[in-house]
Amino acid sequence: MKAWTAAILAGTMALSGCAILPEEIVTPGGAAPDASTAGQISHDAAARQFAEVVDTVEPVAEQVCRNLRKDAYCDFRIAIDTRRRQPANAFQTLDKDGNPVLIFTIALIDDMRNPNELAFVMSHEASHHILDHLAKQQEYAEAQARVYEQAATQAGASRTGIRRASELGAALGAHSYAKQFELDADYLGAQIARAAGYDPLIGALYFDRLPDPSQEFLGTHPPNADRMAAVKAALGLGACPKGLTLC
């Protein structure tokens, strides 16, 4: 089992936009966070579960990454956001050298009811990096920013109007493929979790505990039913939902 070490990560971008990371992030293997944040299972059990899932999922995700990506940025680092009162969340980001980092809050680790859920979430976040979603999101944002900026310029807008148009274009461009990215990460993530020895169907039941985003205006996540359909499609158990590009 890998030793846990304290580390500082800076200059990174979360999947849905820029993110300032906590000053201290702990990587798996050492002292457990405060037990007052414990959820459905005891904190000690949650900590052990997290370490075990890291040890089994990371090597599989790394191998899949090396098979699918054209570069060598596949040495995943798994870290814990130790800040208190952070909501249950996990996201993929990059360190200053471009290496992938998967960050999990204490609340999310404690909210995982079984290793299948945690393995699926971890595999999903790894899939965002394997599929290069951060770079694609940035590309789409910049392209739409230019389109809106040119339109505002041609319409004779002021400098402020042009800047606001560019910002709006960037925001819309970043959102335009967000739901597709989530479905594709669910699909590949299900396959990674299964290859690591977990049951993605049980893991994806975590969706049942999340608010369904299907009615959100400009939401970044697809309906929970579509996400479960993507998992089933990845396992050969159903048809691919609309918006999924990997099958």
Alpha helices by DSSP H, 69-177: 106-111, 115-130, 133-154, 159-176
Return the percentage of the chain with pLDDT > 90, whole number. 43
Please give the average per-residue pLDDT across 161-178, as a whole number.
76
Give 114-150 pLDDT, tens digit per residue.
Answer: 999 999 999 999 999 999 988 887 777 777 788 887 8
- 240 token code pair: 């691919």
C-alpha span between 5 and 8 (Å, rounded): 10
Please give the average per-residue pLDDT across 82-89, as a whole number.
87
Please give the average per-residue pLDDT across 138-166, as a whole number.
82
Contact 2, 29 (CB under 8 A): yes
The pLDDT of residue 179: 83
The full length of the chain comes to: 247
pTM of the model: 0.76
Contact 9, 27 (CB under 8 A): no
Quick one: pLDDT band at residue 176, thresholds 50, 70, 90?
Answer: low
Report CA-CA distances (Å) from 89 to 92, 126, 191: 11, 14, 21
The pLDDT of residue 37: 36
Which amino acid, residue 193? A
The pLDDT of residue 4: 27
Domain range list for the chain: 6-131
pLDDT at 214 over 80: no
Give 16-70 pLDDT, tens digit per residue.
Answer: 332 333 334 444 544 333 433 334 678 888 889 999 999 999 999 999 999 999 8
The pLDDT of residue 58: 96
Contact 217, 228 (CB under 8 A): no
The pLDDT of residue 246: 86
pLDDT at 173 over 60: yes
**pLDDT averaged over every residue in the chain:** 79
The pLDDT of residue 213: 61
pLDDT at 73 over 90: yes
